[in-house]
Every structure is written in structure tokens, then in C-alpha cells.
Copies of this chain bind each other. A is one copy, B any other.
Amino acid sequence: MHKNYLLTPGPTPLPPEVLSSLAEPIIHHRTPQFQAILKEVGEGLKYVFQTKNDVFIFASSGTGAMEAAVVNLLSPGDTALTVEGGKFGERWSEICQAYGINTEIIKVEWGKAVKASEIERYLKNNPKIKAVFTTLCETSTGVTNDIEAIGKVVKNTSAVLVVDAISGLGAIPLFTDAWSVDVCVSGSQKGLMLPPGLAFISVSEKAWQKIKEAKSPKYYFDLNKAKKAWEKTDTPFTPAISLIIALRESLKMMQKDGLENIFMRHKQMAEATRQAMRALGLELFAPEAASDVVTAVKVPPGIDGEKLVKIMRDTYNVTIAGGQSELKGKIFRIAHMGYIEEFDIMVCIACLEKVLAKLGYKFNLGSGLKAAEEVFLKED
């Protein structure tokens, strides 16, 4: 028997409603039938993004929408500020540099959040900065940045605030309009409980002003084209039809559940995971700014981190993530995002305990499970 549990920070598991919608016969995209779906998901996305502005959909991974943000907002030679606190923050710098943008970089120690005051200082020192590129949840380190505080700092300047909310949107609080986020970017395979292949981007009025002036070359990710098509409930190029139909299902579920409940569930799962790790004597990688979407845990001395993840996955069919880039083998990451609930977390902790015990790590068997249980019981 072979039962799989997926607790990776993207892709996240898919609800049965989403899976069965993926198996429906395909329809043509330039039909009233599909237009009705586009209209519905457009409204649903506004709810999840908490914005009154349009949210555009690309057939691409989340990185495509990140590139869209850079090339639509800026021209070669413009100055941008990026925050690098992990692999995904670095991606902002890489994209900016690929397009000839002068990139000022705030390097944040991996495992720490950026301080809004630091961004404020940079913006004061360099009024040329046209856009600030940040990350809601830095998946590589398990850190959540304080976007609300950053929004307060950026909104009083001429710069726009761009947030990579690929991990985190629809899982933890992000109020695009209320927090003055000008461009919010996300992807399908995280909080939205879909397969990868769709990217989303919301655009504020302040951002549209920048877009009008921006001269970076672009075609597939051109937001002007997307906007023009969207006005006719269309997309400039063939959309990923089946994924958009599945999106309708997941948005329906999320709207029925309500963002407040969704945020609460993620918070509870994260807290249970953190308490379980502490009870097992494990150290969190980002204790001060731990994200509620993914928990990064230091691999204890004497244990082979890559082997731990591999045995959990290949022997027991419980898939968590290892560390990326400089954190390879040094941390493991448990996602509690999207279509994951408390009993998935219990399964994950049970499997982790089992493999840690087999690898010779010393701890009280069951202590992690009990700690998690206490959180779930108390907060129910």
C-alpha cells in the first residue's frame, strides 16, 4: 500500500474538487462559456488579493509574473531596490539586472525579516528608486516579512511597492489595497491549491502611471496587452484553460471558507508545527520571523538532512522539502499551506519522529505529536 502525503511549499496538495475539474473535457477559450469563467475568477482573485484593482492571469510559473512586474514598471537604467533575504529575494535582483535596471540591494541575513526602517533609509538616501521589490514569505528560509509596515513606508514616496506573494497569498494575511501594495504577484501552486502553471499580478493606479512610462522590452508579459484583452474579458494569448477552470473551483472553496478562517487555520498549523519541533529539541531556522506558511527547521548535529528528507519521501511517502542553495542539507522545511490540515501535520510529525528515531536522534518519542495536539486542542 502506498499513500502519499505532500507537505512541500509548492506544489501543495490539490482538493478533489480541483482534481475532478481538471478531468473535465476542454472547452474553447473564446466562447461565452469561458468568458463567464474568466469573469468569475477575476472577482474571486480580487477577493483573495483583497484589492479593487484587476488581477491579471498569465500562463507561466510565478517567476513569469515577477518578470512582468520588472519589465512593465521600469526602463533600462532605472533604479530599483530589492530585498535579498533568501533565494526568492535574490530572484528580484537577478531579473532587474537581466533587464539593465540599477539594483540597490538590501542584504538581510537568511532567517531574518527585513526592517521597514531599513527600506525607509534607502528610499530617503536615493530618491531615484522607482520600485521596491520584496517578498511576503521567503519560502527558502521560512520568513514572513512585515509587508504592512513596508507599505506604510513606501506609500509616501514616488516609488511603487512590489510584493512577491507567490508563497503566502490565500494563506496568511496580505491586504493588497489596505497595505498599499502596488503590484502583488502570485502563483497557483501554493495557497490557491492548484497545479503550477498560472501566475497572477495585481496593479494599482500608482503602478499604472509607472507602466505608462516604462520602456523595457516585453511581449508575452506585457501588461498593456493583458489590460486591453481583459477589458473584453479575454487574454492576449491562449490561456491555460484547464487550470483556470480549476482555479474557479479553488476560489469557490476559498470564498466559502472565508479568508479569516483560512488565515486562522494556517496560523494554528504553523504554531502546532513550531511547538512540535521545539518539543523534539529541534531549533527553528527563523524563530523571530517564522512564517505561517512554511516552517524551516535546523537539521540537528549528527543527522544527515538530505537523507532525512529522502527517507521520509522514498520509504514512507511523506514529502517535505530540504534546504535550497546555501541551506542545502542544513534545514528541512514543512509546509502548512493550501489544502493541508491538522491531521496532515500530525502525519508529518509522526513520520519525522519515526525517521529521526531510526537515524539515532535522541528525543522522547511522541513528544512532538503531543505538543502539536495541545495546540490543535486549545485553539479549536
Contacts and interface: CB of A to CB of B under 8 A. Distances in A.
B217 A217 contact: yes
A241 B23 contact: no
Contacts of A10: 238
A343 interface: no
A309 to B, nearest CB: 10
Contacts of A63: 219-220, 237-238
Interface stretch (A54-62, A113-121, A372-380): A54-62
Contact of A60 (B29, B64, B319): B64
Interface string A8-38: 1011111000011011111111011000000
A99 B62 contact: no
Interface string A218-257: 1111100000000000000111111100000000000000
A336 to B, nearest CB: 16
A313 B19 CA distance: 27
Contacts of A216: 217
Interface stretch (A189-197, A259-267, A355-363): A189-197
Given A10-B238, A19-B25, A22-B242, A99 B196 contact: no
A29 B189 CA distance: 12
A63 B58 CA distance: 12
**Dominant SS among interface residues on chain A:** loop
A197 B23 contact: no
B25 A240 contact: no
Contact of A98 (B62, B196, B217): B217
Nearest to A14: B26
Interface in A57-103: 58-64, 67, 76, 94-95, 98-100
Interface in A292-325: 313-314, 319, 321
A347 to B, nearest CB: 15
A187 interface: yes
A67 B25 contact: no
Nearest to A11: B26
Contacts of A20: 23
Contacts of A76: 217
Contact of A29 (B11, B14, B222, B237): B11
A211 interface: no
A6 interface: yes
Contacts of A242: 22, 195-197
A364 interface: no
A158 interface: no
A4 interface: yes
10 contacts: A11-B26, A22-B22, A32-B314, A60-B220, A63-B238, A64-B220, A187-B238, A196-B242, A197-B241, A197-B243
